[in-house]
Homo-oligomer: A and B are copies of this chain.
């Protein structure tokens, strides 16, 4: 069977994760198989509302059949106020299997498309009082977890430029918190006085790993020393005769900076009575392998086991869950691929 013919016969819907800086799309069969993948670097920040449909068609146009509408389920920043069309935030606490209820349909000219933009989550009153927070995109990955375990409870961490920690209680998101950790690391490593001392770390190297985990524990034990520890990296580069030279030196210092930043994030979650992680509690990480490994190493240093769920698998499961909700609630007006 040719690829084109298989696509025409098997395409059931299209999954899209459309973020600030790029979009990823998947041609999906009804059984969950991925028939094709597409990608564009035209994210929300690069687009005006009237440019979304053209951009989408550039990526998925070849997948579409000549006749009949295909449902396209989109999560992420395309549904932000400054995106294609706003899908208003759903407030926590909320169940994740009903994200589809908040979906909106932007106007489309191409008769082969029916697009649903899924909402993000907002928190207007957090467990600490007035902890406003928002997410767009990550909630769909969380929904992917719940898709396979509708009564899931526990802490889920989605590392990234802005890492998210969600607390699930029996399938309900009870609260969540965003940390600026990744952006903080990037700004400090690339744009501060520390840039002269930074290289690429490699956490498979035992010395880098030790520098990283030591820094994680230091931030956990003394988060108030974070700003002092930052300049200490520069001073150590100038004065510490025990450091190796060259790339090995810059790798160790980068590992230490990464550990300090991730450790500061974890300091707010670990060992704080009455909130956060219980001693020894396991954490589920959703994200790319390298970043999740880094977080798993940090969590392990503080006595927390972690298991990883692949981000692509999670987002596809989450979009699939929303599709089933829309199918059920809206079947009279939906055209499936014939």
List residues of A whose CB falls within 8 A of some B CB. Answer: 122-124, 128, 130-134, 162, 177-181, 183-184, 187-188, 191-193, 222-228, 230-232, 234-236, 238-240, 261, 264-265, 267-268, 272
| Smallest Cβ-Cβ distance to A270: which chain B residue | B224
CA distance A336 to B162 in the complex (A): 61
> With A183-B192, A183-B193, A224-B267 known to touch, is A134 a contact of B238 (CB < 8 Å)?
yes
Pull 24 A–B residue pairs with CB atoms less than 8 Å apart, ordered by A: A124-B239, A130-B236, A130-B240, A132-B236, A134-B238, A134-B239, A177-B228, A178-B228, A178-B231, A178-B235, A180-B192, A180-B227, A183-B192, A184-B188, A187-B187, A187-B191, A191-B191, A222-B268, A223-B223, A223-B267, A224-B272, A226-B264, A227-B261, A227-B264
> Are A227 and B265 interface neighbours, CB within 8 A?
yes
Among candidates B130, B131, B235, residue contacting A132 with C-beta atoms closer than 8 Å: B235
Q: Looking across the interface, which residue of chain B has its beta carbon closest to that of A177?
A: B228
A261 and chain B: residue at smallest CB distance? B227
Q: Which residues of the partner chain B approach A232 to less than 8 Å between Cβ atoms?
A: 131-133, 178
Establish whether residues A187 and B181, one from each chain, have CB atoms under 8 Å apart when the complex forms: no
Q: Closest CB-CB distance, A167 to chain B, in whole Å?
A: 13
Q: How far apart sit A225 and B239, CA to CA, in the bound complex (Å)?
A: 31
Known: A228-B178, A228-B268. A193 touches B134 (CB 8 A): no
**Given A132-B239, A235-B133, A240-B132 in contact, is the A228-B187 Cβ separation under 8 Å?**
no
| A227 and B179 in contact, given A134-B238, A232-B133 (Cβ under 8 angstroms) | yes
Residues of B within 8 A of A193 (CB): 162, 180, 183
In angstroms, Cα B180 to Cα A337, docked, is 58
Q: A239 is contacted by which of B122, B228, B264, B265 (Cβ under 8 Å)?
A: B122
Alpha-carbon distance A108/B190, docked complex (angstroms):
37
Contact partners of A228 in chain B: CB under 8 A: 131, 177-179, 265, 268
List chain B residues, Cβ under 8 A from A265. 227-228
A151 to B232, CA, bound (A): 29
> CA of A181 to CA of B229 in the docked complex: distance in angstroms?
11
Expressed in whole angstroms, the minimum distance between the Cβ of A120 and any Cβ of chain B is 10
- Asked if residues A227 and B181 are in contact (CB atoms below 8 Å), the reply is yes
Residues of B within 8 A of A132 (CB): 232, 235-236, 238-240
Give CA–CA (A226, B193) in the complex, Å.
21
| Alpha-carbon gap, A157 to B170, bound state (A) | 51
Measured between alpha carbons, how far is A228 from B225 in the docked complex, in Å?
A: 16
Instruction: For residue A244, give the distance in angstroms from its CB to the closest CB of chain B.
Output: 16
CB neighbours of A227 from chain B (8 A): 179-181, 184, 261, 264-265, 268
Contacts of A188 in B (CB 8 A): 180, 184, 187
